[in-house]
Structure 1
């Protein structure tokens, strides 16, 4: 037994686990990796939330935001107005549509490009606002998860008693 004890002390001696330490060289510690990854995610989300946290409250920004909101309703109401004009005065409407047929094709392409760029830029601005709100939400996700975990632990019922263990405790009390 002394020889085996010395051999085991050599492998696992002094409270160390040489096998686990050696394996740690070849395989990453999953728990430490998860902690590092969570820290990196938290830092990245905090940076993203900070980047989009600047409010735009100046007079110029409010004026431009107001002007940016006009084209869509004007296009929608203008189209509905054309339908109304076609019903009220078909001759007037038909003469205007004949005039539109005289617009050269490159001008139609130019108008299409301008409208596409306008709505594309608007879509991008709204997308960035959405990303900012997602980043703010994700920055709070860790705190919310920890709070939910604490609440679940408080609401969890006590572990069921082991009848065999209770009998043993009574006998050896």
Structure 2
């Protein structure tokens, strides 16, 4: 029964269509103005892009102003929480003071990357990020080993078992970090 109803609907629609469909000289979205002086699709997109680009300095200023206001609100709330000794306000104000500059910097860097890369540069950015993480991992592992040696020195002088445990933990984590920093770029480049 449903098939019969669907068939009837298709029959009615096909009878309603015009018998002849004429093709235009060129699709309307590719026509460049013509006698009616209407802008074509390419001109419309170009005009829209230029108008969006003209708002970029204003939007940058507004973004900077919003983040500055958020930071100042965080400073005022921090002063309030110190005066009244309110823990929850102190917690929220310090988190605001930490994350507002980080978010601002990430948005700026993200917009720079988004508007300055094309398909061929994406591979270079990814390899640069992988190399940065690899070098950061090596330096963090060296720092952990040095801090672990200081913990070993404290363990030898004070014979406190916590310093010995921290020495062992830092050595294990630094070895794992060195292994990951060495192996992961090879794995990520193989994908």
RCO comparison, higher one (Cα < 8 Å, 6+): 1
Provide the TM-score with structure 2 as the length reference: 0.28
Provide the TM-score with structure 1 as the length reference: 0.31
